[in-house]
Amino acid sequence: MPFDPHLPIRNQLRADRRAVGWWLLGVAFMIWVMVALGGATRLTGSGLSIMEWAPLSGALPPLSEAEWRRLYDLYRTIPQYELVNQGFGLEGFKQIFWLEWTHRLWGRLIGLAFLVPLVWFWLRGRIPAGLKPRLVLLFLLGGAQGAVGWFMVASGFEADRTAVSPYRLVVHLGLALLLYGVVLWTALGLFRPDRDAPPHPAGLRRLVHGTAGLLVLAMLAGGFTAGIHAGFAYNTFPLMEGRLVPEGYAQLSPFLRNFTANIAAVQFNHRLLASLAGIAALAAAAWGARALPAGFARNSLLVLGGVVALQYGLGVATLLLVVPAWLGTLHQTVAVGVLTAALAALHALRRPRATARRLAP
């Protein structure tokens, strides 16, 4: 066999891709945990317990009784304390404080987990060609997510409010899912830069794209469901107070307000989008099982169908049990698993060679 003088270079480039890919998978996992913490923070009403945005000094918790008392007195000035938690005392405040503080600390750790390896890989020349601008943009978007988070929290301090604005909540959640998706997609491209998968029907790819779109819409609708506490009403399934379409679906004017501010419409839309996405995901899984040979593409479709079915069941259970915090948090956590499966399926069925050219050394 003739000696290939380029083999050591290709092996090093392959090793660099894998190293950067594993780093990005670790960051993606941390974002997944962050989304779960965000769900727990929201469901326990902990998100408004810290009324200061201190990106650096806020990394330290209160270190004295005087500091605890100062923060508690500050919290007592907002409507949530007056209308929901009045009189729960300093110990009650500490319980909600620690969850929000952990949520914010985890965000800072994600920033460090992204920045430090980025600088290290960059200085050692191990970042694959063409990837640096995307990584810089991801870091900037991560910083913007912290600012969006505070923008969301600040809305909960307004008069007569006991929770954050649902619109800002959806923006915050949507940006988190976008960051997670881009980080995961980039990692998948590093592990699987070539497109040597067996041919697959173009219609199957279109179906998976449509499924992914429905899933994202269902997740954003879920954000509004959480934001206006729509899950605490109509706790029956599949009908809503004996009706398929609830009474009062279009009671707000202008009509578009119903999609974000009407409890009946918001919950119905979330149910409808989730049902359509579930049917599409199961159809894609069945098609893939018949049309594709064993391998990454086929497995990703089967996992997509399974995790979407699991998420649908969790959603129904969350509704019927009137949104217990642990189950609502699990429902939001598995939503990221649904997004993961959808992205893996999309990546497996992507059109030939575009990613390979973009990330080629």
Query: Which amino acids are annotated as binding site for heme, given as ranges?
Result: 270, 331
Nearest to 258 by CA among 215, 231, 221: 221
Q: Indicate the SS3 state at residue 50.
A: coil
* Half-sphere CA count of 253, side-chain side, radius 13 A: 0
Strand partners, 240: 243
**Distance in angstroms (rounded) separating the CA atoms of residues 208 and 144:** 30
Residues of the binding site: 270, 331
Q: Which residues contact 140 (CB under 8 A, 6 or more apart)?
A: none
Count H helices and E strands in the chain, helices first.
Answer: 12, 0
DSSP string, 213-226: HHHHHHHHHHHHHH
**Distance in angstroms (rounded) separating the CA atoms of residues 219 and 286:** 23
Cβ–Cβ < 8 Å for 15, 121: no
Q: What is residue 240's DSSP assignment?
A: B
Token pair for residue 278? 């579930």
Token pair for residue 276? 């359509």
